[in-house]
């Protein structure tokens, strides 16, 4: 499709945005899956088109509704990550409110995209007759295995854990405004999948395999309606040697003036030692501030994150955390010294680090609380909640 300066109507754009929908009248979850919120990541759109093609040609009997959409239409046409602003950093509650209050005459390219996406999301949610599961499909500029990334609720974990690739926890603690936030904030099941490097054909295969597996896990398809063994094999091969679960411990934030340049050859999940040389910027060499595994090293012009560092989480702790949450031990957290409930939000705890012990942060992480911000020397931790219909369906 060629880029054009002629104004296209909302209806025309909606037609291009909705890649397709599929349902056969039976109740079930709404699977809202989006590709290309970053315009240089068309692999997600290709994977969605393949799934739509098979659902339609084989006339599979399904439970619920499949809705495939394209994220940043303008940027996809130009093959760029974004045109004015990164569309995957604009979804915090305050940024969305700001957009809603803004005169559309002042919209930048991504503001317009975001308004249209919000209206699609709202329509989908309004029409849903069961839980809504949202998946955001990505690819990256560096080599590396596919992975899932999610806000840490049990329902999110239960759905995403079925995709046999590494699971990244805590990314939402370091990035504000990813589109998953919009759904998680509303209590819906939401996660992102990174399929691999942008241009690699296997990236489309990985994303497609992850979609099929999730359609089965969410109850949209029966296990025998797709070749599950093949999809598992595809993903297992792509992520061989990678850890099952990691937690983000560091984000290297970039400013446009940084002249950031990653050292060549890093791949996601590669181990790095503390103080090893990772990149250069306008101040000189950039060393690893801590040891761990590197994630999403930046090898493209645009982006706000130079790289992330993460550490392995032993699966035992995930099981233990699940038990803690089912036992509802979280109800007693505010009894710990230095911990108070926030008067404004039942899902937020305020911690005085001068009184609370080091392990408080560890316990909070296990129970799904993530650090949000520091206010007047106090740390606040917020837990994502799950909307009751999603909880009944997936929070087992």
| Residue ranges in contact with Zn ion by CB under 5 A | 38, 41, 138
> What is the nearest approach in angstroms of Zn ion to the Cβ of residue 81?
7
The helix (run of H) or strand (run of E) holding residue 281 is: strand 277-281
Percent helix, strand, coil in the chain, to 5, is: 40, 25, 35
Q: How many CB atoms lie within 10 A of CB 335?
A: 7
> What is the nearest approach in angstroms of Zn ion to the Cβ of residue 57?
29
DSSP-derived secondary structure letter, 52 = H
Q: Which long-range contacts (CB under 8 A, 24 or more apart) does 309-315 make?
A: 309/248, 309/249, 309/250, 309/272, 310/168, 310/170, 310/246, 310/247, 310/248, 310/249, 310/250, 311/246, 311/247, 311/249, 312/243, 312/245, 312/246, 313/169, 313/245, 313/246, 313/247, 314/245, 315/244, 315/245
Q: Which is nearer to Zn ion, 36 or 292 (CB)?
A: 36
Alpha carbon separation from 348 to 157, 247, 371 (Å, rounded): 20, 20, 10
> What is the nearest approach in angstroms of Zn ion to the Cβ of residue 347?
28
> What is the nearest approach in angstroms of Zn ion to the Cβ of residue 125?
23
> What is the nearest approach in angstroms of Zn ion to the Cβ of residue 68?
17
Q: Which is nearer to Zn ion, 28 or 177 (CB)?
A: 177
Q: How far apart are CA 155 and CA 131, in angstroms?
A: 11
> What is the nearest approach in angstroms of Zn ion to the Cβ of residue 242?
19
Q: Which is nearer to Zn ion, 38 or 252 (CB)?
A: 38
CB distance 264 to 140 below 8 Å: no
CB distance 74 to 83 below 8 Å: yes
- Give the CA count within 13 Å in the CB-facing half-sphere of 195: 30
> What is the nearest approach in angstroms of Zn ion to the Cβ of residue 41?
5
């Amino acid at each position: 499709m060629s880029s054009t300066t002629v104004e296209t109507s909302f209806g025309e754009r909606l037609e291009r945005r909705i890649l397709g929908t599929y349902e056969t009248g039976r109740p079930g979850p709404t699977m809202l899956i989006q590709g290309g919120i970053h315009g240089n990541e068309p692999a997600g759109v290709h994977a969605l088109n393949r799934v739509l093609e098979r659902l339609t040609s084989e006339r599979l009997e399904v439970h619920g509704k499949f809705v495939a959409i394209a994220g940043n239409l303008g940027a996809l046409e130009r093959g760029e990550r974004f045109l004015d602003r990164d569309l995957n950093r604009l979804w915090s509650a305050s940024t969305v409110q700001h957009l809603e209050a803004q005169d559309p005459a002042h919209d930048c390219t991504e503001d317009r995209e975001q308004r249209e996406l919000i209206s699609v999301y709202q329509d989908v949610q309004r029409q849903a007759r069961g839980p809504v599961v949202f998946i955001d499909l990505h690819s990256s500029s560096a080599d590396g295995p596919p992975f899932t990334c999610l806000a840490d609720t049990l329902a999110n974990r239960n759905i995403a854990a079925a995709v046999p690739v590494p699971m990244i926890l805590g990314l939402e603690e370091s990035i504000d405004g990813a589109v998953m936030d919009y759904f998680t904030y509303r209590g819906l099941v939401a996660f992102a999948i990174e399929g691999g490097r942008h241009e690699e054909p296997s990236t489309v295969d990985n994303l497609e395999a992850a979609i099929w597996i999730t359609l089965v896990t969410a109850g949209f398809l029966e296990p025998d309606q797709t070749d599950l063994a093949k999809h598992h094999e595809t993903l297992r091969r792509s992520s061989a040697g990678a850890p099952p679960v990691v937690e983000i411990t560091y984000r290297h934030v970039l400013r446009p003036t940084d002249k950031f340049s990653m050292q060549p050859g890093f791949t996601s999940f590669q181990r790095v030692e503390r103080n090893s040389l990772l990149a250069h910027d306008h101040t000189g060499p950039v060393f690893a501030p801590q040891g761990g595994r590197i994630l999403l090293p930046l090898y493209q012009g645009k982006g706000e994150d130079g790289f992330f560092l993460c550490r392995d989480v032993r699966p035992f702790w995930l099981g233990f955390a699940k038990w803690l949450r089912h036992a509802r031990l979280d109800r007693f957290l505010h009894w710990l010294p230095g911990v108070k409930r926030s008067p404004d939000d039942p899902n937020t705890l305020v911690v005085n680090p001068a009184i609370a012990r080091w392990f408080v942060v560890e316990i909070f992480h296990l129970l799904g609380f993530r650090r949000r911000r520091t206010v007047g020397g106090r740390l606040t931790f917020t837990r994502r909640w799950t909307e009751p219909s999603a909880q009944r369906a997936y929070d087992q």
